[in-house]
Amino acid sequence: MLCYSYGVPSDTARWLEELPLESFFRVSDVPGRSRGAARSFLNREIHRMPPRILRVAPNLYWKARPPSRYTGRVHPPSSRLIGWEIAGPHAAALGWYGANLVGWSDQIALQYVEFAVPGEPKQRSPHPRVTIRSRRNLSRRELGRLEATYLEAVIGFDRWCEIDWGKALDLTRFRLEQRIENGDHLPRSKVFEAVAANEHPKHHGDLFRSRAADLVAVMAESEPRV
């Protein structure tokens, strides 16, 4: 059943009804007479009890699931989901979170997460538990999230990773084989290699280039032969 707010066009209410649960959206996504009308609609929805949508960061909203029958609360998205949504498709996870994602650390970032993006981010601290950092290498815009996270994990290997480099390569081979079995996309060795060539770490540049070359070789092993 559609739920209409006073003075709100039916297409706006219908849009919200049809929006999948646990979806992010922005003011510009909301249909209506004007941007101001869309903001008024969102403000009313946020203050409903229980709310159907939550404002989770500047100009970022979340269509929540109904309240938990155990707690009675409407649960917001995790800081990790918020961070990825704001950081965008070329972002890399940093620190323990990034090292864990590529399988080189067992540490889990439970509270605070950091991301790196090519160029200057629109917001460096969009959420109390999310930080977005800038990277000068604009060729990172060619990378997907997994590739970018591998790149950062190589740069920060000695700080964040708990295994030796040889073990990291072995684990990467195993994880890439798993991705093939699951039908998941693979990191592209040629693209990664080209972007890594434009990186200039502040410390241990030769070691970074050696490790990046090793990782490129492992990525290439998993790619289908043409």
* 120 Cβ contact list (under 8 Å, min separation 6): 134
CA distance 101 to 84: 13
CA distance 196 to 208: 9
Long-range pairs, 12-20, Cβ under 8 A, ≥24: 12/37, 12/38, 12/41, 16/45, 16/52, 16/53, 16/63, 19/63, 20/63
What is the C-alpha radius of gyration for the chain, rounded to an integer number of angstroms? 21
Using the CB atoms, write b or e for 185-204: b if 16+ within 10 Å: eebbbebbbebbeebeeeee
For 72, the token pair is 């009675």
For 107, the token pair is 């540490």
pLDDT at res. 8: 46
Q: Are 180 and 207 in contact (CB under 8 A)?
A: no
pLDDT at res. 226: 62
Q: pTM for this structure? A: 0.90
pLDDT at res. 148: 98
Give me the residue spans of the domains in the chain. 10-63, 79-222
CA distance 219 to 224: 11
pLDDT at res. 68: 87
The strand pairing partners of 55, in sequence order, are: 61
Per-residue pLDDT of the chain (226 residues; tens, 9 = 90+): 444 444 444 688 899 999 999 999 999 999 988 888 889 999 999 999 999 999 999 999 999 999 988 888 999 999 999 999 999 999 999 999 999 999 999 998 778 999 999 999 999 999 999 999 999 999 999 999 999 999 999 999 999 999 999 999 999 999 999 999 999 999 999 999 999 999 999 999 999 999 999 999 999 999 987 6
DSSP calls for 33-63 = SSHHHHHHHHHHHHTSSS-SEEEEETTEEEE
